[in-house]
Amino acid sequence: MKKILNRPEDVVEEMIEGLVAVHDDIVHRVGDSRVVARNYEGAGKVGLVSGGGSGHEPSHAGFVGKGMLSAAVCGDVFTSPTVDQVYEGIKAADKGAGVFLVIKNYTGDVMNFEMAKEMAEENDGIKVEYVITNDDIAVEDSTWTEGRRGVAGTVLVHKLCGALAENGASLAEIKEEAEKIIKEMATLGLALTPAIVPQAGKPGFELAEDEIEFGIGIHGEPGYRKEKLTTSAGMAKEFYDKIKAELKLTPEDEVVVFVNGMGGTPLMEQYVFANDVLALLKADNIPVAKKILGDKMTAIEMAGISLTIFRIKDKKWLDLLNQEVEVIGW
């Protein structure tokens, strides 16, 4: 294992310290917790909290700041944050109008965030609501998950709900909108190489030199098929066809295309893949309102890519996506 770190067991603590040291104009650490909170007060507005295992940077701390998350909770690598840590995040985010949680659909995340919600309501009188993202259409009831996994589409939920909160939407209004939003997005990902969790020191799964896996999760959970390496155009068509069928896309729709690098994929390759996806949409006469590309929801150094397509059912969603923010990773 070759990584730039000191002791593997200290990687998350030192990552958090480095992040808040570099970006101290935007975020700070809440005491000695695993919570990264924004410096911007957002007084009187709904607070937004998300989080999960570390190793997905810039998710989730990279989206903390004005216009997106109020706080992010960092668990161990690929491990849900504890109930107590999430509870600290909720308290840090509360500015008097309640707190909204964006939870990826993993069993540990859902359980711990829901328990922290109950603690904040019972102990502190904080009103808390949540949405569970489940945009991954690759598999259901996979490792760590009942139902579909929450993956890169979660970042779009951060952006949309963050803009709503910044604009003064109520807790109930944000929840209502979030439940609509998650039904209009679908994601698929693939891996070319595995990731190595620092504490484990070895790859989390195996792929042959000429092999890829379609439908893999952001922690390296199994996908739906392994096959020999194919072209970018072939990968793009497989993902596009499945997402198009899932969302039942037609030329009457308007979409956002989000190409996400998994941590070890060069931008050169991401742009090649994006070009292939956009060509497929153009051939089907489906208008693309916005394109987003880059490493947003990664899996440490995994080489791979994911495609999220988000249908704009409500014109205001596009305005919310385009609204300016002050965060590290958008």
- Helix or strand holding residue 24 (H, E): none
- Asked if 158 contacts 68 with a C-beta cutoff of 8 angstroms, the reply is yes
Amino acid letter for position 178: A
First-to-last C-alpha distance (Å) of the chain:
30
CA angle 261, 264, 262 (to 5 degrees): 30
Our answer to whether residue 158 is catalytic in this structure is no
Question: 202 Cβ partners below 8 Å, 6+ apart?
Answer: 1, 196
Instruction: Write phi, then psi, for 2 (nearest 5 degrees).
Output: -115, 110
Which stretches of 147-223 are DSSP H helices? 153-166, 171-181
Per DSSP, what are the bridge partners of residue 306?
189, 260
Catalytic residue among 23, 60, 158, 219: 219
Catalytic residue among 23, 56, 60, 158: 56
Closest CA to 8 of 300, 298, 207: 300
| Three-state DSSP class for residue 293 | strand
Our answer to whether residue 56 is catalytic in this structure is yes
**Residue 88: other Cβ atoms inside 10 A:** 24
Per DSSP, what are the bridge partners of residue 228?
211
Catalytic residue ranges: 56, 219
